[in-house]
Structure 1
Amino acid sequence: MSFNILNIGEHVLIDNSIVNCEYHSYPPYANTTLNNSDEIRIPIQTQEIYTLPTNSFLYFEGRLLDNTKKFSATLSFVNNFMAYLFDEIRYELTGVVVDRTLKKILINVRQELVLIRSSTDMNAIVTTNVHEKAHVELYKVMWRMPHVQVADIEKLRLLKYIENGRDLEIAFRSWELHEYPVLQQTTRHTWNVKATNQLEKPRFVILALQTDRKGINTKNSSHFDHCDLRSVKLYLNSDTYPYDNLIFDFVKNHTSILYEMYAQFQQAYYYKNCSEPSLTYKDFLLKAPLFVIDCSRQNESLKSGSVDIRLEFETDKNVPENTTAFCLILHDRLVKYNALSNTVKIV
């Protein structure tokens, strides 16, 4: 501290390696329709550019109509409704499916965003009229991608790196959702979610339960239910997370540790110094009681073999009828691409 305030001769550093960064809009292929169940492909064919996909976003224009194709005052969107308008969203590099990148530019690579419209828009809306049907009419979709223009000295450095023919490594964090359509009406449940390899073992696992909401227009599909869940355990082969046997009680409001696990996710996942959760404690309990398990710290010496992912959870009462379980797995993925040969492969 003393050195900093006494260093009056310190030079001011000016970063001029990037001379410009501006957004360009990319539309879908010509004659693409934006209706239910349609596939929407948005390509970036130009390869002689530097792009920053981590800062890109989707721009939509549309309107919410009732079954008579008119505006209705009783219709409204659910939280994060755009996610419910699509069954699948894929990001592809030269045809290889990847997810989100680290904060680095991509050089000389063909990119494509693929969106599959949901067969129905019912999960994206909520209404007070049980007989009312809704339709979301999209008439414009654009992919807004930053183009980065670098200084000449940086351009020469990047070109030399490309000419060497080296494979460039990109680390991705993949989000993979699994669904257990209908849980048995018991108090103990075991879910063998999947088996994976050591390179793509989970870093975070999020469990959510939802009772009788999907496809019902008077219920909010973006909300989840606690179903009187009392304990959750994640098994990665023989390793268990969390270590302690945590017991929750939603009736007695013994759920502070559960909220703390949710709040700490933001800090651990985004490498932030402090956590700023999107949901208050009250909203968390009423709207989205998510069970977030941090398993990011593991033995990394094993590079081969499979990892069996299993969830075991108990409830105080039998799970209600028509209850669905969702498991969101966040795992690492490493991709190598060669800017000279324009090839991409998943490690």
Structure 2
Amino acid sequence: MDNLFLDVTERYVDESKITQIEYHSFLPFSTTALSRNDEIRFSISESGSYTLPSHSFLNIEGKITKGSGSLGEIRFINNGLAHLFSECRYEINNTEIQSVRNPGITSTLKGLCSYTESDKNALFNAAWDITGDNCDEFVEKGFFSGCIPLKHLFGFCEDYKKILINTSQQLILNRASIDFDSLVAHGGGNEEQLKKHEGSKLEITKIVWKMPLVKVSDEEKLKLLKVVDSQKPLSLAYRNWQLCEYPVLPTNTSHSWSVRSCSNIERPRYAIIGFQTDRKNSYSKSLSMFDHCNLKNLKVYLNTEAYPYEDFQADFTNSKVALLYNAYCSFQKSYYERDWSSPLMSKHDFMNKTPVVVIDMSRQDDNIKLSNVDIRIEFETTSAIPEKTSAYCLILHDQIANYNPFTGDVRKL
């Protein structure tokens, strides 16, 4: 430490490796095919530029027209912009890196566990308002405008924070077939009045992919050119998000759900499970809320290994959800490898609005070489599961891909 005080000859070192970051706008192939069931495709072929997809975002503008005779207001539900799409795909050099089915539910489950109290104001720009589920100020005079960061939709953009060199990129968005799941009616009165909202129309008038292009100093540019000339593949390590759905659960008090089988390379590290009762295709219920369905206990099995080891023993009737809420709060510490947690939801809101179950499976014996991993969920409830109840399981698992900036080859392991 003393040497730091005495080294008066130390020289100033300029470490301005990045000289400029500019956001460039990229339009879809067709600026008019933005209606329901349309495919919205973007392509970035800036092969000579350095792009930073982790900081890119979608800028969406549109308008909502109320149906004739409808009362009250039509508002976005929480995370309503993401619910406008049925699938999102991200590609590098025409090779799929990540595909997210039902991005509204997927990003809602992930965001509820990842975001913190300090993110609330920034999230409102993406139509997030989980506390009131109104987004009452997001639509002004029938028009809306918002921005969705791509790290909100793709695990690749959240985890891979480096630039891409000498690559083309494609983003494909499939519009949902209906708009009911993005909107909710407020002040509409009885069920008959709510049906009049079905004539309401949502229209996207503009959608732009904003991608930052990075400019570097001459010294850094030479280093990056040497990386390209070496013809060695670069590794892309990230965590993939895969949503599995059980459309209609049987009306009993216990159930076993064989979710899926995966390879040993794609071992699941976390599972986020939520239940919804009769929330699809409705103007009166939000698709970003979840129902507890009087859940008592839930376990995830990887082959024969159970997670968690001990039971939750929840009792929503008597507000005994401490272990479930603790698992929800602990996600940020484990997933982001930090010592602190600032959950987005309070215990009260968690119990009444978003009672999701978080299962941490990050600690596994990877020395056991198994060709396949079977994922099974078993759960119990204190009363029969209501009719029209769906179950969702978001699996977060490891994924590795390689790309060669010299040849353009991309390969997922």
TM-score bucket (shorter structure): over 0.9
1:207-222, aligned counterparts within 5 Å? Answer: 207-222=273-288
Shift of 1:13: 5.4
SS at match of 1:227: coil
2:51: which partner in 1?
Answer: 51
User: Taking structure 1 as reference, are residues 302 and 86 closer, same or farther at Cα in structure 2, changes over 3 Å only?
Assistant: same
2:213 corresponding residue in structure 1: 147
> Higher helix share goes to which structure?
2
2:167 maps to what in 1?
109
Paired residue secondary structure (2:283): coil
Q: Deviations over 1:185-224 (max 9, x none)?
A: 0011100000001111111101100001111111111111
The equivalent position to 1:235 in structure 2, one of 301, 317, 342, is 301
Contact kept? 2:31, 2:206, Cα under 8 Å: no
The amino acid that maps onto 2:65 is L
Judge conservation of contact 1:169–1:336 (CA < 8 Å) in 2.
yes
Q: Is the CA contact 2:91–2:169 (under 8 Å) kept in the aligned structure 1?
A: yes
Partner of 2:15: 15
**1:130 aligned counterpart, secondary structure:** helix
The answer to whether the aligner puts 1:251 opposite 2:317 as a matched pair is yes
The answer to whether the aligner puts 1:119 opposite 2:119 as a matched pair is no
Cα deviation for residue 73 of structure 1 reads: 4.3
Query: Which residue, 182, 185, 192 being the options, matches 2:251?
Result: 185
TM-score (norm 2): 0.80
- Residue 381 of structure 2: aligned partner: 315
| 1:97 is the counterpart of 2:131 | no
Q: State the percentage of identical aligned residues.
A: 41
Whole-angstrom distance in 2 between the partners of 1:150 and 1:303: 44
Shift of 1:6: 6.5
CA shift, 1:302, in A, is: 3.8
TM-score (norm 1): 0.94
Question: Aligned-pair distance for 1:301?
Answer: 2.1
Task: Show the counterpart of 1:82.
Answer: 81
Report the CA distance between 1:71 and its aligned residue: 9.8
Which stretch of structure 1 is more off in the superposition, 79-88 or 58-67? 58-67
Q: Please say if residues 98 and 174 of structure 1, whose CA atoms lie closer than 8 Å, have aligned partners that are also in contact.
A: no
Whole-angstrom CA distance in 2 between matches of 1:24 and 1:8: 47
Query: Take 1:259 and 1:74, find their aligned partners in 2: how far apart are those partners?
Result: 33
Distance 1:304 1:111, change over 3 A: farther
3-state SS of paired residue (1:232): strand
Distance in 2 (CA, whole Å) between partners of 1:303 and 1:26 is: 45
Partner of residue 130 from structure 1, selected from 186, 189, 194: 194
Q: CA deviation at 1:9?
A: 3.7
Match of 1:156 among 222, 227, 231: 222
| CA–CA separation in structure 2 for the residues paired with 1:31 and 1:79 | 26
Letter in 1 for 2:23: Y
Contact 1:65/1:71, CA 8 A, preserved across alignment: no
Deviation at residue 311 of structure 1 after TM alignment = 0.4
Work out whether residues 51 and 164 of structure 2, in 8 Å CA contact, stay in contact via their aligned partners in 1: yes
Whole-Å separation in 2 of the counterparts to 1:71 and 1:303: 60
User: Does the CA contact (< 8 Å) of 1:187 and 1:319 recur in 2?
Assistant: yes
Query: Structure 1 108/117 Cα, relative in aligned 2: closer, same or farther at 3 Å?
Result: same
Within 5 Å, which residues of 2 pair with 1:163-182? 163-182=229-248
C-alpha separation between the residues in 2 aligned to 1:328 and 1:202?
10
3-state secondary structure, aligned to 2:284: coil
Unaligned residue ranges in structure 2 (runs of 5+): 99-155
The amino acid of 1:74's aligned partner reads E
In structure 2, relative to structure 1, the CA distance for the partners of 1:5 and 1:94 (3 Å cut) is: same
Determine helix, strand or coil for the equivalent of 1:200. Answer: coil
**Residue aligning to 1:324:** 390
Q: What is the CA-CA distance between 1:298 and the residue it aligns to?
A: 1.1
User: Greater CA deviation, 262-271 or 315-324?
Assistant: 262-271
Higher alpha-carbon deviation: 223-232 or 25-34: 25-34
Q: Please list every run of 5 or more consecutive structure 1 residues that lacks an aligned counterpart in the other structure.
A: none
Q: Secondary structure at the match of 1:89?
A: strand
Mapped contact 2:30–2:40 kept (Cα < 8 A) = no
> Using a 3 Å threshold, how does the CA distance of structure 1 residues 192 and 149 change in structure 2: closer, same or farther?
same
Task: Check the 8 A contact 1:41/1:113 in 2, yes or no.
Answer: yes
SS of the residue corresponding to residue 162 of structure 1 reads helix
SS of aligned partner of 2:211: strand
How far apart, in 2, do the equivalents of 1:283 and 1:312 lie? 25
- CA distance 1:51–1:303, shift in 2 (3 Å): farther
Residues 98 and 172, structure 1, Cα contact 8 Å, conserved in 2: no
Instruction: Please state which structure has a larger fraction of its residues in strand.
Output: 1
**Matched residues in 1 for 2:46 and 2:236: separation?**
20
Residue 273 of structure 1: how far off its partner (Å): 3.2
Amino acid at match of 2:74: L
Q: Shift of residue 8 of structure 1?
A: 5.9
Q: CA separation in 1, counterparts of 2:268 and 2:62? A: 37
Q: CA RMSD in A?
A: 1.9
User: Is 2:292 the partner of 1:293?
Assistant: no
Is the Cα contact below 8 Å between 1:64 and 1:71 reproduced in 2? no
Q: Give distance in 1, aligned partners of 2:269 and 2:329.
A: 16
* Cα contact 2:265–2:398 (8 A) shared by 1: yes
Distance 1:61 1:341, change over 3 A: same
Aligned equivalents of 1:192, 1:338: Cα separation in 2 = 38
